Amino acid sequence: MSTHSASGPTHQHGHGDAHAPDQGPGRTDGHAHAQAHSQNHAQGHAHGHDHGTDIDWAAMAGQLEANGEIQLPLLRSTAARLGELLAGAGTRVRRVLDVGSGPGVMTCVLAEAFPEAEVVAVDGTPALLEHTLARAERLGLNDRVTTVHAELPEGLDAMGAADLIWSSKAVHHLGDQQAALDGLAALLRPGGVLAVAEAGLPMRFLPRDIGLGTPGLQARLDAALEYWFSVMRAELPGSTPVAEDWPAMLGRAGLGPVGAFTALLDLPAPLAAQARAFLQDHLSRLRELGDSLDPEDARTLAVLTDPEAEAGILRRPDAFLLSASTVFTGVRPAR
């Protein structure tokens, strides 16, 4: 399965901007993939969960990259925190893996944050890896950004060892999440860090009462998405139930100490055009929930996504974007 992430934190399940039916991977960079994803999921890697088999990722790459760029403040803050963690552990960062890299927004952020490291984008979609290399060249990072075409869990052996492994909204696409973490942890060099962004708070972007339909729309959408996510997880090949206690899961993968931090994306109203387009894409994917939606809420979403409607997300003066992404970390003990 192709797990793309926009790398970015915006699809969170229980977790954040909820996974909307993937169009197909955060994938933010956030498989921005993940926005497609929640936004892929709904992404971002939303694939409704066809796991990307019918998605034209080459055609979507630009949109996914734009979605990921909206999250650049959050992604850069996240990379800086990871740098502090590795410095505190006395680890020299020579090689970084971005697993489920999507169009490479976070890949390039990591290359900027760790100027002595080779940063490897790992994804199951060749078109997105090509997009990553093009982005790296535009940013003057092509001498240190490379790619590996691989999918989890089969492609672990192709990834090689690393001092930092970053994965955003990719592990939840795998039936056995603990096995995925075990495999990624095994790639770490002593003192290396595994960082997974798999939680947060539901994204918020409108007031409780928007003057359309019944107040509390986003809370009802959250509930529909949580149901969708549970069904998606149950239908994955090899689906293995596990309490999503990520620190405990990282500990079982042999890492310690484990920890967590949360990064915030806070774009107040009135939003710029790019952020509005991001939200329109997100709301359009939410409409794919179909029968899971209350009929009145479906009508409200139709108005919100209408580019000509005065009450649509592209024109509303009250639209904002607030998202919290939690990153869980584990350190491989030095030998």
Identify whether the C-beta of residue 8 lies closer than 8 Å to the C-beta of residue 107. no
% of the chain at pLDDT higher than 90: 79
Identify whether the C-beta of residue 74 lies closer than 8 Å to the C-beta of residue 9. yes
Q: Which pLDDT belongs to residue 54?
A: 59
Q: Choose the weakest-confidence range: 45-59, 80-94, 199-213.
A: 45-59
Identify whether the C-beta of residue 6 lies closer than 8 Å to the C-beta of residue 43. yes
Report pLDDT digits (tens) over 113-154.
Answer: 999 999 999 999 999 999 999 999 999 999 999 999 998 889
Q: Which pLDDT belongs to residue 307?
A: 98
Q: Is the pLDDT of residue 17 over 90?
A: no
Q: Is the pLDDT of residue 23 over 50?
A: no
Report pLDDT digits (tens) over 213-234.
Answer: 999 999 999 999 999 999 999 9
Ramachandran bin of 97, using left for φ above 0, alpha for ψ from -120 to 50, beta for the remaining angles: beta
Higher pLDDT, 7 or 269: 269
Identify whether the C-beta of residue 101 lies closer than 8 Å to the C-beta of residue 107. yes
